[in-house]
């Protein structure tokens, strides 16, 4: 019997599994894994791996809550190693899950079940009054001309428009692809990192996680500085993503005109101190943040646009870090 892993932000996976068992009864070879606010990508990846190895089969179907979210992205890294026996479907809902469970009685391959449940999931999205329903329209990206422009060509204002610069150790994931993209309305999401730019797997996962109509790129720090000084990017509205404050400081020291930094999440690791449930820092982080403040930058500590802004320096004081 195909094993099913439900992967979600928060406790959604556990809740929807409980709902399904009320309808179809208790099930074997099925597991719910959750990404909690205090956890990072490695934690959910480990949970997915442990769930898969607990099954009595190598055929695995992952049902993730959100395309491009951290649970989906981490499942995707494992999928690359098991493409013949794994399948992933995003957009988890109850009809999809029930269909997946019942399909296991007649289908032995994860790919077959994945193919069968997508239409069921879509067909069960309905609205009252029915006049409100519209068939979804294809979204076409509008990222400017595809042909290279000669060096020195001035487009628009001649300066890239940075709608948001965010520090987030998870980089491009659900909160960015949905909430922040809708708020900022970028034409391009740019991950700025020397380390990620050298990692072909991570680059591929990030470009796949981009929301419809927005192109995602991964570039090294020096390339970001070059783009800032290139007038051909004058019509680009960008959402910049950094893994850590040190990379932001290097970009600013290179001349990129950032004014405010959104601090979204900084994962916990050895040697770091938790300052709230999603932010962990060490001395190197604090030194970089202090240097950025001394250069006149301000900070916006929020996971999503609807959150209330928090004062970064109050958080650091609570963690007994001494900022000048």
**pLDDT digits over 27-58, tens only?**
899 999 999 988 888 999 999 999 999 999 99
Give the residue, 292 or 122, on which the prediction is more confident: 292
Please compute the mean of the pLDDT values over residues 171-200 and round it to a whole number. 89
- 54-77 pLDDT, tens digit per residue, is 999 999 999 999 988 899 999 999
Residue 111 among the catalytic residues: no
What is the pLDDT averaged over residues 163-175?
A: 89
Would you state the pLDDT for residue 145? Answer: 41
How many residues in the chain? 324
Sign for the pseudo-dihedral over CA of 299, 10, 193, 206:
negative
Mean pLDDT of all residues belonging to the chain: 88
Q: CB within 8 A of 247, min separation 6: which ones? A: 192, 193, 194, 221
Percent of the chain scoring above 70 in pLDDT: 93
What pLDDT score was predicted for residue 158?
Answer: 79
Question: For residue 139, what pLDDT band results from cuts at 50, 70 and 90?
Answer: very low
**Would residue 268 show up in a list of annotated catalytic residues for this protein?**
no
The model's pLDDT over 215-225, given as tens digits with 9 standing for 90+, comes to: 999 999 999 99
Q: Average pLDDT, stretch 97-103?
A: 94
pLDDT of residue 144: 43
Q: What is the pLDDT of residues 237-272, one digit of tens each?
A: 999 999 999 999 999 999 999 999 999 988 888 888
Domains of the chain listed by start with CATH number:
3-124 (3.40.50.510), 161-319 (3.40.35.10)
Tell me: pLDDT of 20 over 70. Answer: yes
* DSSP H helix total and E strand total for the chain: 13, 12
Token pair listed for 148:
């290279």
When mean pLDDT is compared across 92-96, 207-211, 294-298, 311-315, the lowest value belongs to 207-211
* Per-range mean pLDDT, top range of 127-141, 155-169, 284-298: 284-298
Query: Residues with Cβ < 8 Å from 176, sequence gap 6 or more?
Result: 166, 168, 189, 239, 241, 264
For the ranges 3-7, 148-152, 299-303, the maximum mean pLDDT occurs at 3-7
Q: Of 9, 203, 232, 268, which one is the catalytic site residue?
A: 9
For residues 115-124, average pLDDT: 90
> Which residue out of 173, 188, 203, 268 is catalytically annotated?
173
Q: Give the mean pLDDT of 74-81.
A: 91
The predicted model gives 102-111 an average pLDDT of: 93
Residue 141 has pLDDT above 60, yes or no: no
Task: Report the pLDDT value the prediction gives residue 138, as an integer from 0 to 100.
Answer: 52
| Residue 147 binned pLDDT confidence (cut-offs 50, 70, 90) | low
Question: Is residue 125 predicted with pLDDT exceeding 90?
Answer: no
β-strands 273-274, 298-301 pairing: unpaired
Helix 283-294 to helix 245-253 angle (10° resolution) is 30
């Amino acid at each position: 019997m195909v094993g099913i892993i439900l992967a979600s932000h928060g406790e959604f996976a556990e809740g929807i599994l409980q709902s399904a068992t009320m309808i179809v009864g208790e099930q074997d070879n099925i597991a719910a894994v959750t990404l909690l606010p205090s956890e990072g990508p490695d934690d959910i990846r480990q949970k997915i791996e442990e769930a898969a190895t607990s099954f009595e089969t190598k055929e695995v179907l992952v049902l993730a809550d959100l395309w491009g979210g951290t649970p989906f992205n981490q499942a995707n890294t494992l999928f690359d190693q098991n493409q013949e026996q794994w399948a992933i479907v995003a957009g988890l809902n109850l009809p999809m899950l029930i269909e997946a469970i019942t399909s296991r009685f007649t289908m032995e391959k994860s790919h077959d079940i994945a193919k069968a449940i997508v239409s069921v999931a879509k067909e069960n999205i309905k609205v009252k009054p029915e006049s409100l329903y519209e068939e979804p329209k294809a979204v076409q990206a509008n990222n400017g001309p595809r042909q290279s422009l000669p060096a020195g060509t001035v487009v628009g204002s001649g300066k890239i428009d940075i709608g948001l610069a965010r520090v987030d150790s998870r980089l491009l994931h659900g909160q960015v692809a949905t909430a922040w993209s809708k708020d900022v309305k970028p034409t391009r999401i740019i991950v700025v990192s020397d380390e990620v730019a050298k990692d072909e797997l991570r680059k591929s996962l990030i470009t796949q996680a981009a929301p419809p109509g927005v192109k995602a790129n991964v570039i090294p720090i020096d390339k970001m500085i070059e783009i800032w000084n290139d007038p051909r990017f004058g019509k680009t509205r960008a959402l910049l993503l950094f893994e850590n404050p040190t990379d932001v400081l290097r970009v600013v020291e290179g001349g990129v005109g950032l004014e405010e930094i959104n601090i979204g999440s900084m994962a916990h690791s050895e040697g770091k101190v938790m300052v709230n449930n999603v932010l962990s820092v060490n001395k190197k982080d604090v030194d970089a943040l202090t240097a950025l403040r001394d250069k006149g930058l301000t900070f916006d500590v929020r996971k999503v646009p609807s959150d209330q802004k928090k004062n970064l320096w109050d958080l650091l004081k609570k963690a007994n870090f001494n900022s000048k």
